[in-house]
């Protein structure tokens, strides 16, 4: 007889934009989801991981990006967290979806 208890699945969340940016630096070329090296997927899908959630892979809103780049309160909070933040570092919120 089963106890009814099952362990919860282990889901590995990846914030896609910084992950791909880091992989691009690591490999010295632009890395997209279409050409992530197989060994990287093997690293991500380590034993015990049941699923991978790629967060933020949808098209972001241009209006949300403009807001993130011009709102002084947001800019201040970005600089507090990352003093050397640059224009290219602000890519918009993955939760501000275009469509």
Write out pLDDT tens, residues 20-59. Answer: 999 999 999 999 999 999 999 999 988 889 999 999 888 8
Give the pLDDT score at 15. Answer: 92
Q: DSSP per residue over 4-37, as a string?
A: S--PPP-EEEEEHHHHHHHHHHHHTS---GGG--
Within-domain flag for 2 = no
Task: Give 60's DSSP letter.
Answer: B
Higher pLDDT, 3 or 33: 33
Indicate whether 28 and 69 sit together in one domain: no
Indicate whether 53 and 64 sit together in one domain: no
Indicate whether 51 and 68 sit together in one domain: no
Within-domain flag for 38 = yes
Above 70 in pLDDT, residue 4? no
Within-domain flag for 91 = yes
Within-domain flag for 70 = yes
Within-domain flag for 3 = no
Within-domain flag for 52 = yes
pTM across the whole model: 0.70
Put residue 4 in one of left, alpha, beta given phi > 0 → left and psi -120 to 50 → alpha: left
Give the pLDDT score at 80. Answer: 95
Which structural domain range is residue 15 located in?
8-57
Average pLDDT, the chain: 89
What CA–CA distances, in Å, run from 77 to 32, 50, 96?
A: 29, 35, 18
């Amino acid at each position: 007889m089963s106890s009814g208890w099952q362990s919860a699945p282990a889901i590995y969340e990846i914030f896609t934009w910084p992950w791909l940016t880091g992989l691009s630096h690591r490999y010295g070329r632009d890395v997209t989801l279409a050409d992530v090296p197989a060994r990287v997927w093997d690293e991500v899908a380590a034993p015990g991981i049941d699923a991978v959630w790629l967060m933020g892979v949808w098209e972001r809103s241009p209006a949300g990006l403009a807001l993130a780049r011009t709102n002084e309160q947001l800019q201040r909070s970005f600089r507090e967290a990352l003093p050397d933040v640059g224009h290219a570092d602000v890519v918009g919120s993955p939760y501000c979806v275009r469509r």
